[in-house]
Amino acid sequence: MLPINTWKVHFDERLPIYEQIVQRFCRGLVSGELHPGQRIPSIRDLALELGVNTNTVQRAYQEMERSELIYSKRGTGYFIVEDEGIVHGIRNEMVARTVAGFLEEMYSLGFEEAAILEELKNQMKGGAQRDGTA
């Protein structure tokens, strides 16, 4: 099961807490921290660990069930979905949102496509040199 004592969420006032919990689960799934079929904490346990109301976690779990990210087994608990297609879809949605946000910010700063691409190349090259992979 997810080691909830090491699983922290730093809440942002601009977004409802239940949505941030859902986003944290999505990030964990895409990053490999969570695995298909893995049991996740009960609503009560996660609420206690995160210091939020159980109703908030319940709403997050309901949203994740509705989007088929998790499922429940009566008397056993909640589990991460085992369908790799859903995991892949979540990953693609996260990538699209991140890239769209990045591009929107770059365009608002006055960058054009060629300059954005050049800056990306420079940053990636610098990152590769920093970790010794270049």
DSSP 20-36: HHHHHHHHHHHHTSS-T
Strand partners, 40: 78
Whole-number percent of the chain with pLDDT over 90: 69
| Domain 4-82, CATH | 1.10.10.10
* pLDDT tens-digit readout, 41-92: 999 999 999 999 999 999 999 999 999 999 999 999 999 999 888 888 999 9
Q: Phi and psi dihedrals of 9, rounded to 5?
A: -125, 125
Lowest mean pLDDT of 2-11, 91-100, 105-114, name the range: 2-11
Q: How far apart are CA 106 and CA 113, in angstroms?
A: 9
Cβ atoms 87, 29 nearer than 8 A: yes
Q: What is the pTM of this model?
A: 0.76
Is 36 within 8 Å of 87 (Cβ atoms)?
yes
Tokens of 87: 């995991």
Residue with tokens 């879809």: 89
Residues of each domain in the chain carrying CATH 1.10.10.10: 4-82
Q: So what's the pLDDT on residue 6?
A: 65
